Amino acid sequence: MATAQLDSTVAPHVLLADVAAVLAAEGDIVRKCVQVLDHITRATGAGECSLWLVTPQGLVAAARAGTMSTPAVELAPLLEGGDAESGPLMVRRLASAGRRLGALVLRMEGGVPADVGTAFSAVANMLAPALGWAEQSRAFVAEADKRARQLEEERRLIHQVVDSLPVSLYVVDRDYRITVWNRKREAGSQGVSRDQALGKTLFEILHRAPAEKLRRELDEVFQSGRMQQFTMESRATGEPRSYRITKIPMQAADGEPFSHIITIGEDVTDTAATSERISRTEQLAVLGQLATGVMADVSPPLQSVSDAAETLVQSLDELARDGATVPDHATEAARTAVREVGRCRAMIGSLLDLSHTGDGERVAMDVGPVVEQALAVLRPLPAFATLTTQVFVDGGVPKVLGAHAQLRQVLIALLQNAAEAMDTQGTVTIRVRAGQAAHEAVIIEVIDEGRGIARGDLRHIFEPFYTTKGPGRGTGLGLSICHSIIARHNGRIEVDSAVGAGSTFRILLPGAPIP
């Protein structure tokens, strides 16, 4: 930077070179201008040299050098007509691309000499475009900032959307490199953090299948441009779960080659369980119809056998009373026949419950008393003697439209299971409360402290004849009957259970229509 003292006789081009050097230097234009103005005043012995800028506030002195000071009011009228000279004042308008940017003002007592005027005009001519560029670049920077902020906002929003999805999601590019890896995918079965995953190839991160197989899967989607979907079972979280994997090809614009693949993984374990349960309801209906047919055929002969066996028992008893010698095993055999036939009839009776026949009359009723009735049946049983039972019925629970005997049967079955799961020790809690939605207005929970149900078994417990109880102890029909009765009441039954932590069976029923 030139710091040499210049005097008024210095040729204009020297001054210009200096100004050019100053302007070319990096940094804030106005700050450099101060230096230029300083040079001018010192070199010419001017009283004052100043730079004025047009701002929203009007004409503002951005930089000044020298001692005297020119008020804006004095300049404004001079500037109207363009460049002006008036006595000691020389004013050069600064404009760029037709825009008024400000003025460069030189004040010398006794007038401005011609060569100084020329140099001064040259400086003004250089300063104007420089200021124009500065202003433009400021506008550009502001615009770029705004765009960058918008982009950042959009990017954040997209990230939030992608992270909020209840599915795991990642995106790979043509080189199989991971470009998006959402939150759920971080927590997902393979638990890889976003930082670890981004930029790596999929094969470095995903090990569910050999790299060759993964590459084939992706290539197929890239080549065909068609979405692919399949379901896989995984035990990565410890328990078996089903995932639906969808691979979606993505292109930047129509007609362009596919550049990325979006892979979405959804945990469909529960959905799969639901659809399984729906088809189970259908199975049960078929089973019920079958049972009705069997009942019709089997009942009369069974009744005859039962009557005959009872007659036999009575006859043997009478003979014994009359003093005849009746072998013990004969009486015992006859009694066994009566008992076993009874069991058969009970069994067919429960099967019948699966069918639509035998639907009791539906009335609007409170659930609380049904709970009490079920407990009244069970409490005298030895299994319940050492158990604590507690019932909580919230106030304001709507009535349900139900068949008394059937709902009681459901509660009895659930309570029996609870007692069996707890080995007759501990507390069974029954809660009746109001639900949130109209189709689930009434919630009945049977909560036990028993052994709980393993995840893998949960999907089977509502199947007819599924039992984990020893032969002669469980029929495996209790829950399937509950399920079918509740389904016929337009409700549903849910289970929360964990091994060792007990189980909660939850019945959700619609409220009775208000008369």
Ligand X SMILES: Nc1ncnc2c1ncn2[C@@H]1O[C@H](COP(=O)(O)OP(=O)(O)O)[C@@H](O)[C@H]1O
388 to 427: interface string for ligand X, x by CB under 6 A: -------------------------x---xx--x------
> What are the residues facing 493 on neighbouring strands?
507
Contacts of 145 (CB under 8 A, 6+ apart): none
Q: Which stretch binds Mg ion (CB under 5 A): 56-64, 203-211, 249-257, 476-484?
A: 476-484
Select from 475, 487, 488, 496 the one that contacts ligand X (CB under 6 A): 475
Using alpha carbons only, give the angle 468, 474, 478 rounded to the nearest 5 degrees. Answer: 100
| Residue 478 binds Mg ion (CB under 5 A) | yes
Q: What angle, 0 to 180 degrees and rounded to 10, lies between the N-to-C axes of helices 367-378 and 404-421? A: 50
Binds 299: which of ligand X, Mg ion, none (CB < 5-8 Å by kind) = none
Binds 476: which of Mg ion, ligand X, none (CB < 5-8 Å by kind) = ligand X
**Least distance in Å: CB of 465 to Mg ion?**
12
Binds 461: which of Mg ion, ligand X, none (CB < 5-8 Å by kind) = ligand X
Select from 83, 476, 488, 492 the one that contacts ligand X (CB under 6 A): 476
Q: Which tokens go with 341? A: 């036939």
Nearer to ligand X, 11 or 501 (CB): 501
**Least distance in Å: CB of 475 to ligand X?**
5
| Residue 510 binds Mg ion (CB under 5 A) | no
Phi-psi region of 110 (alpha: psi -120 to 50; beta: other; left: phi over 0): left
Of all residues in the shown chain, the one whose CB is closest to Mg ion is: 478
| Residue 281 binds ligand X (CB under 6 A) | no
How many Å apart are CA 474 and CA 479, to the nearest integer? 11
Binds 258: which of ligand X, Mg ion, none (CB < 5-8 Å by kind) = none
| Residue 449 binds ligand X (CB under 6 A) | no
336 in Cβ contact with 316 (< 8 Å): no
**Residue closest to 359 by CA, chosen among 400, 399, 402:** 402
E strand segments, 252-386: 258-267, 363-365
DSSP string, 374-420: HHHHHTTSHHHHTEEEEEEE-TTPPPEEE-HHHHHHHHHHHHHHHHH
398 to 437: interface string for Mg ion, x by CB under 5 A: -------------------x--------------------
* Sign of the dihedral defined by the CA atoms of residues 378, 379, 382, 384, in that order: positive
Binds 306: which of ligand X, Mg ion, none (CB < 5-8 Å by kind) = none
**Least distance in Å: CB of 460 to ligand X?**
8
Nearer to Mg ion, 132 or 474 (CB): 474
Q: How many CB atoms lie within 10 A of CB 390?
A: 10
| Residue 480 binds Mg ion (CB under 5 A) | no
Using alpha carbons only, give the angle 37, 38, 39 rounded to the nearest 5 degrees. Answer: 90
Nearer to ligand X, 123 or 418 (CB): 418
Binds 95: which of Mg ion, ligand X, none (CB < 5-8 Å by kind) = none
| Residue 448 binds ligand X (CB under 6 A) | yes
**Least distance in Å: CB of 299 to ligand X?**
23
Nearer to ligand X, 37 or 428 (CB): 428
Would you call 418 exposed, middle or buried from its count of C-beta atoms within 10 A (0-12, 13-18, 19+)? Answer: buried
Contacts of 500 (CB under 8 A, 6+ apart): 451, 452
**Residue closest to 167 by CA, chosen among 266, 271, 272, 269:** 266
| Residue 478 binds ligand X (CB under 6 A) | yes
**Least distance in Å: CB of 305 to ligand X?**
25
Q: Which stretch binds ligand X (CB under 6 A): 78-86, 110-118, 345-353, 444-452?
A: 444-452
Would you call 198 exposed, middle or buried from its count of C-beta atoms within 10 A (0-12, 13-18, 19+)? Answer: middle
Using alpha carbons only, give the angle 378, 336, 479 rounded to the nearest 5 degrees. Answer: 35
| Residue 197 binds ligand X (CB under 6 A) | no
Select from 65, 479, 486, 493 the one that contacts ligand X (CB under 6 A): 479
Q: Is 85 helix (H, G, I), strand (E, B) or coil?
A: strand
Q: Using CB under 5 A, list all residues that contact Mg ion.
A: 417, 478
Summarize as ranges the residues that interact with ligand X (CB under 6 A).
413, 417-418, 421, 448, 450-451, 453, 461, 466-469, 474-480, 503
